[in-house]
Each structure stands twice: as C-alpha cells, then as structure tokens.
Amino acid sequence: MTNVLLQDWDTPFAIAPFDRITDDDFAPALDTALALHSADIDAIAGNDAAPDFANTIEALEAAGAGLDKVLGAFFTVAGADSTPAREALQRDFSPRLAAHFAEIAGNKALFARVAAVWAARDALDLTDEQARVLMLTHRNYVRAGAALEGAADARMKVMKGRLAELGTAFTQNLLADERDWFMPLSEADLEGLPGFVVDTARAAGDEKEAGGPVVTLSRSLITPFLQFSPRRDLREKAYRAWAARGANGGATDNRAIAAEILKLREERAQLLGYASFAEYKLETEMAKTPAAVRDLLMSVWDPARARAEDDGAVLEQMLRADGIDGPLEPWDWRYYAEQRRKALHDLDEAEVKPYFQLDRMIEASFACATRLFGLAFKPLDVPLYHPDCRAWEVTRDGRHVAVFIGDYFARGSKRSGAWCSAMRAQAKFPQAQTPVVINVCNFAKGDPALLSYDDARTLFHEFGHALHQMLSDVTYESISGTSVARDFVELPSQLYEHWLEVPEVLREFATHAETGEAMPQDLLDKVLAAATYDMGFQTVEYVASALVDLAFHDGPAPADPMQKQAQVLEEIGMPRAIGMRHATPHFAHVFAGDGYSSGYYSYMWSEVMDADAFAAFEEAGGPFDADRAAALEEHILSTGGSVDAAELYIAFRGRLPGVDALLKGRGLAA
C-alpha cells in the first residue's frame, strides 16, 4: 500500500490526514521524499541548457514539495504531541536532514548555475519579486558555504550535521526535565491559592497519575503558583526546579551541549570569513551589526533596571513586614508583586481571570481580524493530531483564504512555550496553494478554560503570526508569510497584541464565565491601568537574556557558557532577585536551533516598531481605521520577504521609528 504521507490528500483543503498517519509511516516517507528531492536537485544541476531564472531559480522553488509535506506533518506532531517513538525519529531525522541540505548547499554544479544567473541578473528582465528571490537564493547559498572548497567544504558539512544532532538533544533534554519533574501538594499546601490554580494543580496531578494535586514545570501552572502561594518553602523548591531545567546533571544536562554548539557556530562563521557568529548572523537582519543590537538593548536596560530596583526595594520591605529576614529572592518577587498589585490597583487576578475565557478570547482575536481585514472563520470538522486541537476555514468575501488550527492546552507531550507554524505556506508557483497555519500554546485546561491577561496576550501574539501567514500574497514560497528578517518577524505578532487592550474589544469579549456579564467598567479601567505594572521586572528578565545571547556569539566562544553568563549579568548589574527569562541550559530559542541565536533581541527590535505602528492607528481614525488596516496588509502582512524589511516599514509608516514609543508603551519613559 502506498504510504499516506506520499499520496495526494483527498481531505478538505488537503489538510494532512492525521487519522490515517502512523508513526511507522514517517521514516519510509522521509527516505522516499529525500531521494525525490535529491533527484530534483541533480536534474537542475545537470541541466545542459544555459542557466536562467526559470530552469534554475524557479526549478529550485518547485523542488522538494513532497519533502515539505512529510516534514510539515512530522514536525507538527514532534513538537506538540511527542512520544518516545517520535523522539527517536527526531534524533534520527535531524542529522540526516542536515546532511541532505548541506549536500545541496555544497553542490558545486548547482551553485555555479545560481551564480551564473546572479551574474546575468541585469539582463534578465525580472520582476521585483523575482529579483528579490534571486538575490536571497544566491546569498543563502554563499552563507551556507557553497563557495567553500576542499577541507573547509567537508568540515562545514560535518559541523552542520553535528549542530542538528546537538539542537535535537538540547530540545529533548529540556522536554524530559519539564515532563518528569513535579511537586506533590497536600490539601494544606493548597491554602491561599485561588480556585483556578487549585483546579489546574488537580488536573496536572490527574495527568501525572500522582494521586493528588501537583505543581509541574509548565509555565501555565508554575507561574501562578509562584504568584499566589504563601508557602515560601514550596515557592523556593518549585522555582529552583524551574531554574534548573537542563542543568540537573546526568543524561539530560544541556551545559556541555551549549558549549559545543557555541564553539561550532564560531568555527562556522570563521570558515565563511566573519569575525564572529553574531556578525555572520546579523548581516541579514534589520539591525545589521552587534553594536546596533547592543545599543538598543542598553538604551532599554538602564531605565528598566532602575525601575526594577525601585520596585524590588518596596517588595523587600513587604517581605520583612511578613517577619522574613530578607533579602528578597527570585521565588519571592512574583508573590509580593501580586500583593502589591492588589494594593496599588485594587486588582486581584482571581477576580479578573473569569473574564478571560479561552473561547471568548479566540472569538475576540477572530473578531478583530474580521473588522480589520474582512476575514471570516468557520469551524471545520476534520481529523487532527490530538483531541485538544480544533480547526477553522478562513474566508474573505466567500473566497477560501486558509485553514487555521488551534492547539491551546498544556500537556506532558508538548514542548513548553507558544509558537506558530505553517504546515503549508502560501504560494502561487509552481501552482497556487493556500496556507495551513497552526497556533500552539500551553494554557491550563479547565471547564471553562480561563486565561490570565498575559495568556490572552500570548493568544493574540501567536494569532498575529498566523495572520502574517494567512494574508501572505506572493508568488514564491521561499519569501511567503513569516519568511522575513528575524528582527522583523515579531512585528505583526507584537502589534496584534495591542488590539487586546482596546476597551471596546474587552467590553464585548471579556465576559464572566459564570454570569456571562461584561467586565464592569471600573474593573476594565483597573486592568488597563495595570497593563504596565511590574514592567521593570519583565523588561529586565528579557533584556538580560538577550544580552547574554549576544555576548555568547559576539566574540570568542566561551569554554564555559555558565561562567560567561554570570560574567555578563555581573557587568550589567543584574538585580539579584530577578532571574533571566531563559537561562543558558533551557534557552531553547538560542540552542534548539539557529533561529534566534544572536537574535533573541529581535522581540525588542520589533517592539520598537509595533509601538510606533499602533500609534499610526491611534493617530488616524482609531484602532480599526480602515485605511491603516489596508496599509498594514498591503505593505507588511501580504508581502512576506519580497521586499527589504526597512523598506516595508517605511512604506507603511513613512519613516523608521525610534525607541521613545517603546519606553512609553512599557511605562519606562522618564
């Protein structure tokens, strides 16, 4: 019987038929897909015809469609519903895929054809989009090492394979630590916790078959536990376990892996002629240089640290008033910050949370997209990879636009965090295809499922990424959707968060889980007034992580990353009661793959733009101004990577932004 992963899918909108795919299908499907892709590449490289855009660049765009299908299905389930069998497959696939793509990047005959088309570009009468695809294709081959010869070429291939192995190991070690640790709670240990935290702890205990409530290392449980538990001893135990992920010794320890990754990245950059990996990585981003990144981060660090130190002094006074002989520790900050928030803003998250029902927040994210871009969302009854998933058909004026899949709940088989991915990206060549886009989150289950305000922001954030994929309108898949500079990719997602804060959106969709009543105006006012509360803490924990990431890659690779981390934190004056958002052994953004390496700063780079971009709506007719929405779609959401990111932003706004709007938006302006 033909492997289902290699067939044409006769499902609605050709969604992967997850009810017919088994783990046994993946390995043989990958074998076949790799062989077919290699044959495509050999045919392009060995073409006797003179190289031109169609027989070389467009041929590369069309190659490997079957491989994309197999990998789209596999990596969806590997990240969101892992099993021991899938983890074993991932360990096998990662070095094979790295070797496959390294072989393509090192194919001298193929690169010669790409280089010939590049050299003749001025005489080819290309469209602007074709010229962009040609430039990016040529640049990507050069940066991948296609021009290397001899020993350097061979070494590059070996390094790529080893980096793939290490990234997979880092990810699986982190998942194992997060999955395996839990702290049982007695009924007495639940005292002082709001009902929603108790319910989540009981549900987690059921999943772990622990015979009672537990705290796990899922952010949706450990964060509110640290926020609300009056038991300092339990907070300390939970926090230390959370901070120690990937650094517990034994088979799941990530510290040596991180050191080897950094060394290999440095060697890779030097083989390509760069002084450091950061210089190599940032060359293609908006920031361009490590110095520009450092300047941005430090311009935010100083006011954020000053605010955090002022706040920390107040929280330490509260600690001492409780009869504890200080100093304030990282497992104390969230607890006392929550007590202070209640006092300052008369705001209790347990009072707020019933107004943020998951289903209503999904409706809100859809409704904003309807008002801004004319999109409609209709539930789809299709088999998906887990019972928690749900799907919608996205249309505009009756025309099919995309399929959107939401996978919202935390579970032991899902890696932590939240992300957006496209199982199929938008393209018009070699044939038209509409996107299948997935948002994966880790919210606590409940009946109904209730979100914190930060959870609701995460939902809007990931849906902003989804809109970038769904509204893409380009010809070539390589520049579709979120295929943009790393420090530009977070602009649509962070910008979309602003619509959660629009009062009319909250009035309509923030309705009480039991009474169905809208959030009272005085509570709404408090929620919005507290939006920048504790922003010193939030900014410090993020910027510290970004500065450590930059330091790891801007200069010689540290032999001991933990020592380097400690050195950077000391140099910048990290407040002792605040931990990095992502310490090295669990910094998956940086070590699970190359995506955010030297690039964790990009959230803040994008935030400079998103604060300024939302101001454009406010300066016009308001948050739903039709002209601004049309300009946002035309210049940013539909264009993918078809134009340089800075040019796109200037086309939308008329200029590049400064850091002032960001500081104002975070409440850190002088």
Task: Give tens-digit pLDDT for 17-44.
Answer: 999 999 999 999 999 999 999 999 999 9
Domains of the chain, by residue range, sit at 4-147, 181-245, 252-347+535-600, 354-529
Residue 658 has pLDDT above 90, yes or no: no
For residue 34, what is the DSSP state? H
Q: Which residue has the higher pLDDT, 201 or 662?
A: 201
Residues catalogued as catalytic: 462
Residue 149 has pLDDT above 80, yes or no: yes
Share of the chain above pLDDT 70, in %: 100
The CATH code for residues 354-529 is: 1.10.1370.40
Backbone angles phi, psi at 215, to 5 degrees: -105, 130
- Residue 236 makes CB contacts below 8 A (sequence gap 6+) with 329, 331
pLDDT for residue 636: 98
The rounded distance, in Å, linking the Cα atoms of 602 and 364 is 27
Average pLDDT estimate for 655-667: 89
- Residue 305 makes CB contacts below 8 A (sequence gap 6+) with 536, 540, 572, 573, 575
pLDDT for residue 347: 86
The rounded distance, in Å, linking the Cα atoms of 332 and 238 is 12
Preceding amide of 194 cis, omega within 30: no
pLDDT for residue 1: 59
- How is the beta sheet containing 399-409 ordered, strand by strand? 375-380, 390-396, 399-409, 436-443, 419-424
Rg of the chain in Å (alpha carbons): 25
DSSP code per residue over 186-238: -TGGGTT--HHHHHHHHHHHHHHT-SS-EEES-HHHHHHHHHH---HHHHHHH
Average pLDDT estimate for 639-652: 97
Residue 112 has pLDDT above 70, yes or no: yes
In 374-516, which residue ranges form alpha helices assigned H by DSSP? 453-470, 486-497, 503-509
The rounded distance, in Å, linking the Cα atoms of 577 and 620 is 42
DSSP-derived 3-state class of residue 399: strand
pLDDT in tens, 391-439: 999 999 999 999 999 999 999 899 888 999 999 999 999 999 999 999 9
pLDDT for residue 644: 96
Average pLDDT estimate for 451-457: 94
AA identity, residue 32:
T
The CATH code for residues 4-147 is: 1.20.1050
Residue 150 has pLDDT above 90, yes or no: yes
The rounded distance, in Å, linking the Cα atoms of 166 and 590 is 12
Record: fold of 252-347+535-600? Neurolysin; domain 3 (1.10.1370)
Share of the chain above pLDDT 90, in %: 94
496 neighbors 467 (Cβ within 8 angstroms): yes
The rounded distance, in Å, linking the Cα atoms of 175 and 82 is 9
pLDDT in tens, 307-360: 999 999 999 999 999 999 989 999 999 999 999 999 999 888 889 999 999 999
Residue 254 has pLDDT above 70, yes or no: yes
435 neighbors 472 (Cβ within 8 angstroms): yes
Q: What share of the chain is helix, strand, coil (3-state, %, to 5)?
A: 60, 5, 30
Closest CA to 141 of 121, 164, 112, 162: 112
SS (H, E, C) 529-577: HCCCCCHHHHHHHHHHHHHHHHHHHCCCCCCCHHHHHHHHHHHHCCCCC
pLDDT for residue 326: 80
Between strands 436-443 and 390-396, the pairing is: unpaired
Residue indicated by tokens 């962009």: 132
pLDDT for residue 614: 95
Tokens representing 622? 């308001």
| CA-CA-CA-CA torsion sign (565, 662, 368, 349) | positive
Residue indicated by tokens 């957006």: 420
Count other C-beta atoms under 10 Å from residue 228's C-beta: 21
Closest CA to 576 of 335, 329, 337, 331: 329
DSSP-derived 3-state class of residue 82: coil
591 neighbors 254 (Cβ within 8 angstroms): yes
pLDDT for residue 343: 92
| CA-CA-CA-CA torsion sign (460, 465, 470, 472) | positive
pLDDT in tens, 169-225: 999 999 999 999 999 999 999 999 999 999 999 999 999 999 999 999 999 999 999
The rounded distance, in Å, linking the Cα atoms of 605 and 613 is 13
Between strands 436-443 and 399-409, the pairing is: parallel
- Residue 90 makes CB contacts below 8 A (sequence gap 6+) with 78, 168, 172
Tokens representing 411? 């579970």
- Residue 193 makes CB contacts below 8 A (sequence gap 6+) with 201, 225, 228, 229
pLDDT, mean over the chain:
96
pLDDT in tens, 609-633: 999 999 999 999 999 999 999 999 9
DSSP-derived 3-state class of residue 291: helix
Residue 152 has pLDDT above 70, yes or no: yes
Query: The pTM is what?
Result: 0.92
Q: How far is CA 425 from CA 53, 401, 439, 473, 493, in A?
A: 22, 12, 14, 10, 17
Same fold, 4-147 and 354-529: no
The rounded distance, in Å, linking the Cα atoms of 323 and 654 is 56
DSSP code per residue over 401-433: EEEEEEEEE--TTS-SS-EEEEEE--B-SSS-B
Closest CA to 380 of 455, 438, 463: 438
CA 295 from chain center: how many Å?
24
AA identity, residue 577:
A
